[in-house]
Amino acid sequence: MNSIAAFALLLSYLLPYVSPKMFPLLSVLSLAVPILIVINTLFLLYWALILSKRVLLSLIVLILGISHVSSLYKLSGKSVGEVEESISLMSYNVHSFNRFDWIDSETIPQDISKLVKQQNPDILCTQEFYNNPDIDFSQYRYKYDYFNHNSRELALVIFSKYPFINKGSLSFKKTANNVIFADVVLPRDTVRVYNIHLQSHRISSKTDELAKEDSQKLLKRIGVSFKKQQSQAEELITHMKSSPYKNIVMGDFNNTAYSYVYDKIKSENLQDTFKEAGKGFGKTFKFELFPARIDFILVPEEFEVLSFHNHDLELSDHYPISTQIRL
């Protein structure tokens, strides 16, 4: 069992370099990497407690994938107070403000509005935004919302305290998922902010509902969505390369930090703000099997990441994330 778990984790280290279009089923393994890390860690502790030399197997595999381990859990974070010439960013998939009563609460729109007012980010990116009369983001003077042609009710939105000089949408075809961008004029620089929501898998976060699904159909569906994510990421990267400004990418990747699409986007001179300043598991999605981190804020490597926070508030199926950076 230990050998199988160690081999599977070792195999997962290749995922950032394996195209989902070529091997879609192998890409599915990226969703299981957190489980594999935990299993190998438990084996490591077990063999260490009974003083067995078998401890070396999981130890070596975990050391080889230390960057994977640090993507799952950070022992210590980094946080500073208000710093001059810094900007704060937040990303949040608001799940249409509990429109269909997934959560047993009637005050979700007001609670999310209160959270945003308390955190007061300079730039806020939301996914699955729904025009609810009870939301109040009036502190933002500038707003760009894009209702995809396949989803007239849900939008990607960029809210900002700073003005836009350009904005637009990548307008992916045959999907409700999308990427929008805005060129934001900050006090000392201009940056391009991308708000992204890559292809959804349409899988339940509850283990009992997952167990009822036909495994072959489930794997095939996830494989198809991974291929779509790759195409969407390639469009995004091409667009980023033409940007006249430094790029900030925020949003719901619908994939993990062990995936091909994450690696390719991050490779565009970007750093993961959680890995730089986060703490703990950094979960961003309510998934029963393991703490899933599928929402990210990536900023240019030249920027200094001053702090990062996962907000453990169950107001959506996602958890909001925020960071403070200095240009």
Q: Are 60 and 26 in contact (CB under 8 A)?
A: no
More confident residue, 32 or 184: 184
What residue ranges do the domains of the chain occupy?
2-72, 86-326
- CB under 8 A, 24+ apart: contacts of 261-264: 261/20, 261/198, 261/226, 261/229, 261/230, 261/232, 261/233, 262/16, 262/296, 263/16, 263/17, 264/16, 264/233, 264/234, 264/237
Max mean pLDDT range (23-32, 80-89, 93-102)? 93-102
131-140 average pLDDT score: 93
More confident residue, 35 or 180: 180
Q: Tell me which CATH code domain 86-326 carries.
A: 3.60.10.10
- Which residue bears the tokens 């036909």? 214
Q: Are 251 and 146 in contact (CB under 8 A)?
A: no
What pLDDT shows up at residue 117? 97
Which band of pLDDT confidence, cut at 50, 70 and 90, is reported for residue 67?
confident
267-292 average pLDDT score: 90
Which band of pLDDT confidence, cut at 50, 70 and 90, is reported for residue 213?
low
- Distance, in Å, from the CA atom of 146 to the CA atom of 158, rounded to the nearest integer, reads 9
What pLDDT shows up at residue 72? 83
- Distance, in Å, from the CA atom of 311 to the CA atom of 322, rounded to the nearest integer, reads 8
Which band of pLDDT confidence, cut at 50, 70 and 90, is reported for residue 26?
confident
pLDDT over threshold 90, residue 48: yes
